[in-house]
Structure 1
């Protein structure tokens, strides 16, 4: 390993690899520093399935067009307008090229999986999932001559007046060293695995959060950058947080612990009370609000309740549902008040108005006379066995990050662009995602800005 490179990439996931490949194809010498051991390389990319990209027509794996304007409208809706429009529209426009560019880097697509709820037109699925996608990018990077160092914990960044000079790192066997580079790409993710940092904003509730991905995303590189004068972006309490099975491990549960059954039933808290409209919008545009909703409930626990008529309507998860032949029996297994749960379900059933059920559109199956309403896909829960999943907040990634330009160049706190520092992926996702989420968007941010960051970092090194 050399001690001087044209481009240093910190991180080992999708954004980092896209940056490394892009920089190498731009003629730069490149080193990737992955803080995790090789087996756990790739951060949250390991647990992904798909990417959302704009496209003008159906393809072999996409069922129809998804225009730039429709993508923008979806992003605007899920973020409530909290997005940098210039950067967001730039990302959407660039995403059209990514569908082909990522294939050129060895990644392969497959048609959407059954039970993924309305993603066949908008999202491209990786053949073999996120780990296969990641392995393809690493193979391409290594064939191009990119150096990769694992178990490489960055302990300090030497930055002077907005210019990156060197990174100091320690490794279990090789010890400490310093790497100098002409350009830096930071693609090291957020701070979702740093419970103490989460508690600064969430208080003791954060102790009940489960981390869907890697335990290595502790935000150390992000903190160094912010401490050394890089401008921050994003609300530290905002994050991609979904409802995952409460029986999942503290870290690394991944996609198989996520529940997509909310729209087919009701969700109650520990007092057996509903607290939000389960049918607010098409699931891929609303699934990522449920982590925050559950986080606001007592003890950060909730229960998805449904009946036997819908068990084949959604993707099965790692953990089986808890079942009871009666509502009271189910309540007992969940340690809920059976009288309260029966009352909630009885009142919900009475409020359901008949309609034509269709989970792929905003249908006319609604409730009347109860609060909160269920505005779509409302059906009576009345066919035993009655089923439930216990869920907790599952944090995917945080939105506090580094502010960047269209060229993925970091901005300093005084508004000046950095001389040679770029960012891609979750570490800068807050530029686009002020709040909310739509399925596959994290991978889009990573791939698009990774490719840009690598290209621009190489260009800076050449000059």
Structure 2
């Protein structure tokens, strides 16, 4: 019999599988995707947010625990479990040596990501390289990997202990199990239900694009909800950013993100602004714009910049709509020309230009304008002008399984003896809402390793107990 069955194929699942194998357990990993699409959303990641008290290789200066915690507290609005959040934060300070041993390499941040040089460690080759390194290491250590093996349901005893997983190819028993197969962000029916119908009669969830894998359907999350597992999180909350409206339905990844928001203004389809584009550094605010866009009419918005912004942000895969004048730009993107021009001119008149510096919270701001633009406010007055239509791009959902520091799945407050969870399926314990760059990988790495350790321990205990029974 298998000691540890890991269900999932992304960062958290691989961390669990590697850790359990290092602890001496036999491990089988089930990945729903075919080999070429393996890795879940992790294949689209770039970095890991890391606590450190002094400069460490690719990380400059220091990023102490309390600052990391305050950054997380700010974006979540306090909807977070402080004990588990601090557990993740402390783990992030010591995981990179382990990652390197499994083939992950790091590099300094490149132009366009320098705001993160103190807080985030970037993967050489991105998330795809990280995933490939972990799979190579898993094979070398003897982890059995089965692709195209989605799990339909679990077999549990009356106490919530794992017995077996059911797949289309048969029943798989194991002494313990780690669930790390994502949220429900790829399940469009569930997204529609979670977001419901708004006051305009729209169903916002129907207009979402999925930044990552199409395989995160939430099958086992729903199964466990129906079988009494303890749940945490709001189904409408998640990591949701503004991405190019021309992006594919699935797997658009990082290259479809629109990163020029803080350098211009954003208007909805009524050609009016609706939020402060310069509230804070982009890595701390990029993940609010998906939800903001989801609340707008038609779930669409337009990021507007002029020639002065070109070269100051990571260019997306699709070029912006370009025009020599503002009225021409309005016509090209289908907005009311008079209202659009009035919005831009009102904003321009409100700008108070100081010393523009996109690397700091500068003194360029607006006065007597609602909503205000707090930093980096410069008139949009230098052609050519550009517009990027954006829609909500969901990365992962926060509805998940409630855990404690052991990563055990809980039923009526009682932890399972041998069923554990990591990654997106439990991230809602730390992320009640909001997001800050790299923290999803921090959560997945920390709880993947915790779940792998605990699953190996539970499996080996059960193995020993079974051997004793046989001897008796």
TM bracket (short chain) = over 0.9
In structure 2, the partner of 1:186 is 179
Residue 59 of structure 1, CA deviation: 2.5
Describe the SS at the equivalent of 1:286.
helix
Match of 2:45 among 44, 48, 52: 48
Describe the SS at the equivalent of 1:218.
coil
Matched, 1:296 2:295: yes
Q: How many residues align?
A: 454
In structure 2, the partner of 1:90 is 87
Asked if structure 2 preserves the Cα contact closer than 8 Å seen for 1:257 and 1:318, the reply is yes
Matched, 1:429 2:427: yes
In structure 1, the partner of 2:264 is 265
In structure 2, the partner of 1:356 is 355
Asked if structure 2 preserves the Cα contact closer than 8 Å seen for 1:117 and 1:283, the reply is no
Task: State how far apart, in whole Å, the 2-side matches of 1:228 and 1:144 are.
Answer: 35
Describe the SS at the equivalent of 1:118.
helix
Describe the SS at the equivalent of 2:432.
coil
Matched, 1:453 2:446: no
In structure 1, the partner of 2:316 is 317
Provide, for residues 112-171 of structure 1, a one-character-per-residue CA deviation record: whole Å limited to 9, x for no partner: 12112501111011001110010000000110000000000111100112101000101x
Matched, 1:405 2:398: no
In structure 1, the partner of 2:141 is 144
In structure 1, the partner of 2:464 is none
Match of 2:162 among 155, 161, 164: 164
Asked if structure 1 preserves the Cα contact closer than 8 Å seen for 2:193 and 2:205, the reply is no
Pairs within 5 Å for 1:25-424: 25-160=22-157, 161-170=159-168, 176-203=169-196, 204-412=203-411, 414-424=412-422
Gaps of 5+ in 1: 171-175
Provide, for residues 282-328 of structure 1, a one-character-per-residue CA deviation record: whole Å limited to 9, x for no partner: 11111000000000001111000010011100001100011110000
Asked if structure 1 preserves the Cα contact closer than 8 Å seen for 2:76 and 2:434, the reply is yes
Describe the SS at the equivalent of 2:192.
helix
Compute the RMSD of aligned alpha carbons: 0.8
Task: State how far apart, in whole Å, the 2-side matches of 1:460 and 1:206 are.
Answer: 40
Residue 360 of structure 1, CA deviation: 2.4
Asked if structure 1 preserves the Cα contact closer than 8 Å seen for 2:7 and 2:181, the reply is yes
Gaps of 5+ in 2: 197-202, 462-472
Task: State how far apart, in whole Å, the 1-side matches of 2:359 and 2:399 are.
Answer: 33
Task: State how far apart, in whole Å, the 1-side matches of 2:98 and 2:164 are.
Answer: 31
Provide, for residues 43-78 of structure 1, a one-character-per-residue CA deviation record: whole Å limited to 9, x for no partner: 101111111011122133112211111110100011
Provide, for residues 250-298 of structure 1, a one-character-per-residue CA deviation record: whole Å limited to 9, x for no partner: 1111110001110000000001000001011111111000000000001
Describe the SS at the equivalent of 1:51.
strand
Task: State how far apart, in whole Å, the 2-side matches of 1:108 and 1:226 are.
Answer: 38
Provide, for residues 70-104 of structure 1, a one-character-per-residue CA deviation record: whole Å limited to 9, x for no partner: 11010001101110001001111111111211111
Describe the SS at the equivalent of 2:14.
helix
In structure 1, the partner of 2:465 is none
